[in-house]
Amino acid sequence: IFFNSRLSLGVVNLKPLFPGHVLILSRRKVPRFCDLTPEEAQDLWLSAHTVSKVIEREYKGESLTLVIQDGPAAGQTVPHVHIHILPRKKVCSPSLCGAFTPLSSC
């Protein structure tokens, strides 16, 4: 745990797609974004906002990708709502260098 707020935590992804790939998760374990209270949802996004500035600066990113996979059909493998934050550079394509299937091919 590298970040704490009242309702959210920041952790390093154990299987990062890129250096600097981190997760912001709710303290209360709920599977879906809609299961959060409005206060928890607000804190989750404010925490992502705070952490994203640091991640982009520290990893010298040019952009960021923020992702929530909300439910199994969306690719969620851990039943605990969380936001992925990935620092990005121009060397990768917008499709995350093959990390995700583009929607046009689904």
Binding site for substrate, by residue number, is 13, 69, 75-78, 84
Hey, what are 92's tokens? Answer: 């990768």
Binding site, by residue number, is 13, 69, 75-78, 84
How many whole angstroms separate alpha carbon 46 and alpha carbon 24?
10
Sheet of strand 3-4, all strands in order from the earlier edge strand to the far edge? 3-4, 8-12, 22-26, 82-88, 63-67
Give the residue numbers marked as catalytic: 82
How many whole angstroms separate alpha carbon 24 and alpha carbon 12?
9
**3-class SS of residue 55:** helix
